[in-house]
Structures are given as C-alpha cells and as structure tokens.
Amino acid sequence: MPDVPPSTLRLGLDEAALAANWRVLDAMSGTARAGAAVKADCYGLRVVRCLPVLRDAGCRDFFVAHWSEVESVLAYIPASQVSVLHGVFDAAQAAYARAVGVRPVIDSLHQARVWSESGGGRCDLMIDSGINRLGIAPSEIADPLVQSLDIQVLMSHLACADEDSAMNARQLAAFRAVIPHVAHREASLANSAGIALGADYHCDLTRPGLALYGGVPRSEFADTIRQVAYPEAALLQVRDVAEGATVGYNAAFTAPAPMRVGVVSLGYADGIMRSWAGAHFVHGDRRLPMLGKLSMDMIVVDLAQAPDLHEGDWVSLPYLLPDAARQTALSQYELLTVLGNRFG
C-alpha cells in the first residue's frame, strides 16, 4: 500500500507549556510531589506525544482508568509508576496487573477479595470520602480484606474542589479520619483543583489531570496554567457565494451580500460540536467567523478578512479552554476528551 497522504487536520501541542504546567502544579503541591492523570489518551491529547514530555519534566506517578490504556503508557515509563483507577473486577484483570507490574487501585471489598485471592501484591486503595463513585466506604476500613492489603497509595477524590464548597473540608476530614486505621506508604487526595485548596489537601502525592493540559478549574491557575492544545484544519475549498444564497444544513445562514467563503476540514466527528456555531477561526490575527450549522466533517467560514486564502491553507480554532467552555457550554474536560482521532 502507498503511504497515506498527510492529514488535513493537525493538533498543535505546545510541549513546553505542558512541561511548564506540570512544574507549576508540582511546585504548588508544596512538600508533596505531583503525579499525572494520563487516562483517556492524556485527556485526548495523545499519550505518544504527552507522556514523554511529562516524564522528562520530572513526573514519576501516572494514573490511567482502563486496563486497555496500560500498554500504551508502558512504552514510555516503568510499570511500577502506573496505577489503574478502575481496579480489578476479576481474576483475569488481577493476573494481568501482576504480570505487567502495574498497581490496581482497589475500589471495593469485592475487588479486595479478587486481588487477595489471586495472590495479592502491591496495590493502591481508594476511599470514598463523599463523592459516592468508586471507593471503600470508611465504615469498611476495618474489614480484614482491607487490612491485609499491601497498599502503596491510600487515596480519595474530591467532588467539589473547583468550588469554594464546604464539602471540601468535609471530605478532607473524612479522609484524615481513615488514614491512621490502615497501613499504607503514601496518601493522596488532591486533583488539579484540589492543589489550589492549600497544603492541608496535598498529602504526599497530588494527582493533577485537567490543568496539565491547559484547563483552568479555579481562578488561582488563571495566570500560571498555559494553553497546550491548538486544533488546526486546512481549507478544502474556497468559493464565492451570491447575495441571498444559503449556506449549510437547514439553510441556517443567508448571505446578506456577495461573499467569499472557505470550507474547513473539521466538524463534530472531530469533537467540534454544533455548540461552536457563531464562533470563529483565525489566520494570524484575522478572524474567520463560522457560517451556519457545523457539519460532521466540514465548517464554512467567512473569508472577508482573509480574501487571499486558498485551498490547502491552514486556519486555527481558538482553543483556550476557559474561553471555549464559555462559547460552547461544554466543560473543559469535554473540550479536550472529545477531540477525535483524525488529527495528524
């Protein structure tokens, strides 16, 4: 087979910004060290591109969600540095964890039993301090199944760290109450937003995710966290549209005068949802407003400010995550993780 032609989509990744974000979060973690959540293919920005940057910046603790994510990260880091947040449901998962050397995060008494009966070994343990997702209930901490675990990291997860909520202090108190009652080597509570809550929340290890990749979950990060992702797409066609002609599905836009427009190789199959309608692309400092409804693979833009553009020229979608979240009503997490796999 011949080589595949270059993609008409590309995802610019500012590696220096990614490394700087980890260093900022590590410094903000005080005496704790910062790890990195690299689940969901590094929040959609690709393990192959992001994980080596985080490793070389100094990160030594990495968290994935699914067992299917393990193999890709082990190409860059030792298995001993990897924790799998969804834990072990059955003997097959336990055998896989032991064979490759990663740590499961034990999330229930059932998982504790599966892990112990399959041979046990080093693991992490999640305590549910109030979010009511995964985790051992504090009332279960004295169970012999829990007490017999060989725990590296005792962890919990904050539900409202991106808000000034009384629940943060309640969860901190609940987690602290458990810490003396189960043997472990390290404790971890804070996610990205939790780091900004202060030293009480840092414990031994923090687990940032969103902020690594340019997300700003709290105002404390507004001046320090840098944009990492820059989606770009090529113009597939440039055309003239007559006054009164309509553009796109449902004839949602009518040209008020003769216009020059461009068809951009990007759409909701790439994670750019119809909630982006009314936003704009840029070429240098020139704005190219979107026209009509977004399509699955294409977006039409107004080239009034850039009449010199032609087929094959590249345009950029402004993707500063706080601004994009306001434009689309999507969360900053969604904006990252929905980016499709067609970006080159």
Q: Which of 230, 249, 293, 333 is catalytic?
A: 249
Q: Is 249 a catalytic residue?
A: yes
Per annotation, catalytic residue among 39, 43, 201, 333: 39
CB count within 10 Å of CB 122 equals: 17
pLDDT tens by residue, 225-277 = 999 999 999 999 999 999 999 999 999 999 999 999 999 999 999 999 999 99
Distance between CA atoms of residues 267 and 38, nearest Å: 25
Delimit the domains of the chain by residue range: 14-216, 229-318
pLDDT at 344: 81
Q: How far from the centroid of its chain's Cα atoms is residue 272's Cα?
A: 16
Taking the chain (344 residues) in runs of 10, the rounded mean pLDDT of each run is: 93 98 98 98 97 98 98 98 98 97 98 97 98 97 98 98 98 98 98 98 98 97 97 98 97 98 97 96 98 97 98 98 96 96 88
- Give me the half-sphere count of Cα atoms (radius 13 Å) on the Cβ side of residue 189: 29
H-state helical runs in the chain = 15-28, 39-43, 47-57, 70-74, 91-100, 109-117, 144-147, 166-178, 192-195, 321-328, 332-337
d(CA 321, CA 229): 9
Q: Which of 141, 211, 205, 200 is nearest to 171 (CA)?
A: 200
Q: What Cα–Cα distance (Å) separates residue 329 from each residue in 48, 227, 324, 337?
A: 29, 19, 8, 15
Among 178, 65, 76, which Cα is nearest to 129's?
A: 178
Question: What's the CATH architecture for 229-318?
Answer: Beta Barrel (2.40)
Query: In CATH, which of 3.20.20.10, 3.30.70.580, 3.10.580.10, 3.20.20.140 is domain 14-216?
Result: 3.20.20.10
